[in-house]
Chain A
Amino acid sequence: DVKVTQSSRYLVKRTGEKVFLECVQDMDHENMFWYRQDPGLGLRLIYFSYDVKMKEKGDIPEGYSVSREKKERFSLILESASTNQTSMYLCASSRDYGYTFGSGTRLTVV
């Protein structure tokens, strides 16, 4: 079965820490995405990548960066975590239509 795997289900980090969220897919998909999900706001796109070493800003990139050194791995980086980055983070991959999502990482910044 095809999979998108996010390395952690739950994370608790302190304000100011540098945080890495990892996502790996085994479907040889070109496109990968990072969203955050907040109540009442739905899913908002942070960054996406359509090829290795390529990245594009989504709707809310401020405070985040990404890295895609290999096709199967897409990392989201919070340079200096803040409490307003407490959220559920969802990674997804796609080739054309239909995204496959990971199970999500619930990040709490204290």
Chain B
Amino acid sequence: GNSVTQMEGPVTLSEEAFLTINCTYTATGYPSLFWYVQYPGEGLQLLLKATKADDKGSNKGFEATYRKETTSFHLEKGSVQVSDSAVYFCALSGNTGFQKLVFGTGTRLLVSP
């Protein structure tokens, strides 16, 4: 079945550092890929998505590229801020018919001033 593997956290960075959170997936066919973010005390929000190979999703300075050859969708940001501290979830869904989202276990990011 479909699955998502994320790097374990927490990831601890200083403000303005470069961020990478690794995500790899296992899926049949050509899934869509997503990054969700959960700020403290809140539900999940869609951060970015990519629906086909080589697509790059981007939002709020975050980027992720759908790499079919390495089955990866790593999240990157060039300069993190304290306000980026949150839990980040990688997820996938199939592209045919009704498909559920499958989530990774989440990676907590802590950014210090």
Contacts and interface: CB of A to CB of B under 8 A. Distances in A.
Contact of A99 (B41, B51, B101): B101
Interface string B78-109: 00000000000100010000101101111000
Which of B42, B44, B51 has the most CB atoms of chain A within a 10 A radius of its CB?
B44
Contacts of B101: 33, 99
A103 B46 CA distance: 13
Interface string A68-110: 0000000000000000000000101000011111111000000
Contact of B43 (A40, A48, A102): A102
Interface in B3-31: none
Chain A: number of interface residues, binned into ranges: 20 to 34
Given A31-B98, A42-B89, A50-B98, A101 B45 contact: yes
Interface string B23-55: 000000000101010000111111001010000
Contacts of A99: 44, 46, 101
Nearest to A4: B43
Given A97-B32, A103-B42, A42 B51 contact: no
A41 B49 CA distance: 22
A60 interface: no
B105 A45 contact: no
A40 B105 CA distance: 6
A97 B51 contact: yes
A58 B43 CA distance: 20
A104 B43 contact: yes
Which of B46, B49, B100 has the most CB atoms of chain A within a 10 A radius of its CB?
B100
B42 A42 contact: no
Given A31-B98, A97-B93, A99-B46, A43 B103 contact: yes
A95 B106 CA distance: 24
B55 to A, nearest CB: 12
Contacts of B98: 31, 50
A3 B60 CA distance: 21
Interface of B: 32, 34, 36, 41-46, 49, 51, 89, 93, 98, 100-101, 103-106
